[in-house]
A = this chain, B = another copy of it.
Amino acid sequence: MQRVKLEIAYDGTNYHGWQLQPHAVTIEGVINEKLSQLCQEDIRVIGASRTDAGVHAYGNVAVFDTESKIPPERFAMALNALLPTAIRVQRSFAVPADFHPRHCDSIKTYEYHILNRRIAIPTRRMYAYHFHWNLDLEAMREAAGYLVGKHDFVCFCSSKTQVKDTTRTIYSLTIEERGDELVLRVQGNGFLYNMVRIITGTLLQVGTKHFTPAYVKELLTCKDRSKGGACAPAHGLFLVEIVYPDLEAQSPMQSL
């Protein structure tokens, strides 16, 4: 028996998200199917992040246990030969039997891409949120600064969340201009349901002067979820990587 870790990139456009569903095509469902075919066993992966429909990934993480004799680092290529081109395993390797992608400490990095120009660009329509209003970047960066650190992010998560402790730590939150695209990049020890999309939506409301940066600071202490900002659409969001500091074999995936 071996436990194998997969680092998986996907285009979320045509999937109903990560998580297995009985009557919809999901990333997890497709990976289970192809792994089971490859190993000739009934395989069920454990995923690190249950990304929503339309959200993309460069490096989501999943693990599975198998009796297969396939060398762990060969699973990436073997699976890619069976998977649709919208899903590509970037790397596979053996991990300790007690490694769990959701219960071990990790640093997650997300990017949210905003195309900030008057008219949309068709080739970006599935990978960036087209937002045509002018944005006050300085105000957005001031507001972003308040969110860094350990806070109760209850005003930055979906009311559908089932977790009780809504405290999380954001290590960094930057907004980079790349031509007419803004890339919001956030690193943290974990994110609540829709948290990155609500942070993005809120910062966009700062950019259009609907909210002040000070209001965003207040949201961190007000606890009234209804005061929070909008949720930006799924298709601008990318799960970039998940790093497990305790996992020795790990070398961080190259940033894209």
Contacts and interface: CB of A to CB of B under 8 A. Distances in A.
B179 A11 contact: no
A90 B122 CA distance: 11
Interface of A: 9-11, 56, 58, 76, 80, 85-90, 119-123, 125-127, 179-180, 238, 254-256
Contact of A120 (B88, B123, B179): B88
The 4 closest A-B CB pairs, nearest first, are: A11-B122, A11-B123, A86-B122, A56-B123
A58 B254 contact: no
Contacts of A121: 9, 58, 88, 256
Contacts of A179: 254-256
Contacts of A127: 123
A86 B125 contact: yes
Nearest to A85: B125
B85 A120 contact: yes
A76 B89 CA distance: 41
A180 B122 contact: no
A248 to B, nearest CB: 22
Given A86-B122, A120-B85, A254 B180 contact: yes
Given A9-B121, A86-B125, A123-B127, 6 more contacts: A9-B123, A11-B122, A11-B125, A56-B122, A76-B119, A85-B122
A238 B87 CA distance: 24
A88 B10 contact: no
Contact of A90 (B87, B119, B123, B254): B119
